[in-house]
Chain A
Amino acid sequence: MFPFCFEWVWDVGHYLFFGAMWYAVIIISLGMTYCVGKSLVDTLNGKGAGHGDGHH
């Protein structure tokens, strides 16, 4: 799974498979960091308070 793993072989199969996989992981983690980051910023700027009880 990582280059320092015993199983790691630098061949086409690994490039394709782990390439696609790490690509997906990176996109998901970037997406989540963006969301959490932006939400922290929004909360600190006082946005989004006083919601709940149905009056969006």
Chain B
Amino acid sequence: MNELKRKTENGSVEAEAEAVSSEQKAGEDSGLGLGVLFFIGAFAVCFLSGWLLFPSLLYSKKEQPLNFNHALHVDEMGGCDSCHYFRDDGSFAGIPTTESCMECHESQLGDTEDEAIFMKEYVEKGKEVPWLIYSEQPDCVFFSHAAHVIAAGMDCVSCHGHIGTSEKLRPYEENRLTGYSRDIWGKNIWGIKKNPWDRMKMDDCADCHERETGSKGACFQCHK
């Protein structure tokens, strides 16, 4: 309640003094109606923009450097673990490096335009493809694939959804403020979650842990 605010409040009080006296002359109820009208109008505008406009402003849409056809590769190579494998120290290799892709893609195999980009931009130049990873957790999170896939025997779909059968990579939505992928906070702004892979926030992990192991676990179980 600093001094400035106090002053404006007093300022408006003087204006109100004249208004009250003049208004008494023009009758009581008409002013109220207009105020309510404005109230409803402003409420509607803000409410709708909050629920519809705001999410699109908050999340930026980015395209992947090139499209990757999971379905085709799964047919060719077998399961997910042909490219996303466990190293022998139990750590998870995650997205394959250009080098491991080159085991098959020494030269252009198919005729798709995306593969041409891959060969020209990344294989020849020996660069890594800057994939935008949908399920990327922030730096403070330690996620052990070994604990979940090997020890708990979970399948990939339960967290990553049906990306394995997808032919096109959907655009990557990123929260402009936090830098998180939208898959983490959740696609639906209302926070309603149909499948487990629609959202992977801390609470979602906690719920599953609570169900499966009886407790949310110590902090350092998932943090680093």
| A23 on the B face (CB < 8 A) | no
Give chain B's interface residue range (CB within 8 Å of chain A). under 10
A–B pairs, 5, beta carbons within 8 Å: A4-B203, A6-B202, A6-B203, A6-B206, A6-B216
Residue pairs across A and B with CB atoms within 8 Å: the count is 5
- Chain A residues whose C-beta falls within 8 Å of the C-beta of B203 in the assembled complex: 4, 6
Cβ-closest chain A residue relative to B20: A52
Closest Cβ of chain A to B20, distance in Å, is: 9
- The smallest C-beta distance from A50 to any residue of chain B, in angstroms, reads 9
- Nearest Cβ distance between residue B183 and chain A, in whole angstroms? 19
A6 to B207, CA, bound (A): 9
Interface of A is mostly: loop
Interface residues of A in 1-19 (CB under 8 A from B): 4, 6
Residues of B46-88 contacting chain A, CB below 8 A: none
Q: How far is the CB of B61 from chain A (nearest CB, A)?
A: 29
Q: Once bound together, how far apart are the Cα atoms of A17 and B12, in whole Å?
A: 42
- Alpha-carbon separation in the docked complex, A4 to B216 (Å): 14
Q: How far is the CA of A6 from the CA of B202 in the complex (A)?
A: 8
Question: Which chain B residues border A6 with CB–CB below 8 Å?
Answer: 202-203, 206, 216
Residues of A within 8 Å of B216, CB to CB, are 6
Ranked nearest first, the 5 interchain pairs of A and B with the lowest CB-CB distance are A6-B203, A6-B206, A6-B202, A6-B216, A4-B203
Instruction: Give the residues in chain B near A4, CB-CB below 8 Å.
Output: 203
Inter-chain contacts of B206 with A (CB < 8 A) = 6
Beta-carbon nearest neighbor of A49 in chain B: B24
Shortest Cβ distance from residue B188 to the other chain A in the assembled complex, whole angstroms? 17
Q: Nearest CB to that of B206 among chain A residues? A: A6
User: B118 CB to closest chain A CB, in angstroms?
Assistant: 41
Cα separation A6 to B201 with both chains bound (whole Å)? 11
Contact with A along B183-223 (1 / 0, CB 8 A): 00000000000000000001100100000000010000000
Q: Which residue of B lies closest to A7 (CB)?
A: B216
Q: For the complex, what is the distance from the CA of A4 to the CA of B202, rounded to whole Å?
A: 12
A17–B206 Cα distance when bound, in Å, is 23
Q: How far is the CA of A6 from the CA of B205 in the complex (A)?
A: 10
A4, B201: Cα distance in complex, Å:
14
CA distance A4 to B206 in the complex (A): 11
Question: Closest CB of chain B to A4's CB: distance in Å?
Answer: 8
